[in-house]
Amino acid sequence: MPRPVFSAQFRTYGEWLKADDRTSKYAQEIIRKHKVFPDRNLKFLNSLKISDIDLSLKPVSALTEKEFTERGESLKVLKIMRNEGLTLSKSIEKAKEYGYNPSEKSVRKSLGNALYKTGKGWKARKTDRIEVRMNIYSNGKEETITVANSKDRTLIGNYFNDVKKVLHGQLDEKAFKKLYKRKVIVDAKGNKWSLETSRKDIEKIETANPNDVYRVIYGTR
């Protein structure tokens, strides 16, 4: 079955690609969409949101329950890839050891442009802008916010590791305050959040939920 005419001006995608410099943001989006839908015309590709084919760009508020779960599992795989330098398949195997159940297909779809392919397989980019819900301690309370990038995810993860050290006497409170007092997290809506650095207030937050023995960093919807 022959492919449809690509556009009124160009009979094929190849003609469109070679007709001009295709380095603009618009052109690069068309190229990415065409890789997923090689048999569709320009009109269809223009109507398609890039987030429809790259779930990493989709706001967390727009995810289905299944996509939300898969994003959380995929971020665990991404963390293993970055921290331990493992391949995608090895990182998926390790994530399963922690009780997660990701598939390579769901991980690649969820992480999108955060992964790139080389001759040796899939690798992780150093940073990403994938939205995720995370818990933080701020101004004497526990809050759940939408974090917009990997830099802030890492900051929050390090913060909670150091919270444990402070509470167990492994990190001096003054040193803890110095590390986090001036840190600011800007969430997906542009709201600014500071991190709680008072040991007394952190203890109050944690004792408010005495049954929550295994506190989680990643929040629910």
Cα-Cα-Cα-Cα dihedral sign, residues 176, 177, 182, 188 = positive
Residue ranges per domain, the chain? 13-48, 56-124, 132-208
**DSSP alpha helix (H) spans, 54-103:** 65-84, 88-97
Instruction: Give the mean pLDDT of 140-169.
Output: 96
Element (H, E) at 207: helix 199-207
Check residue 146 and give its pLDDT.
Answer: 96
Residue found under tokens 């955060």: 114
Element (H, E) at 14: helix 13-18
Least confident window among 31-40, 65-74, 167-176: 31-40
Check residue 126 and give its pLDDT.
Answer: 95
Check residue 20 and give its pLDDT.
Answer: 92
Distances (CA, A) of 68 to 55, 71, 82, 92, 143: 10, 5, 21, 17, 19
Residue pair 132/71 in contact by the 8 Å Cβ criterion: yes
Check residue 47 and give its pLDDT.
Answer: 92
pLDDT above 90 covers what percent of the chain?
Answer: 74
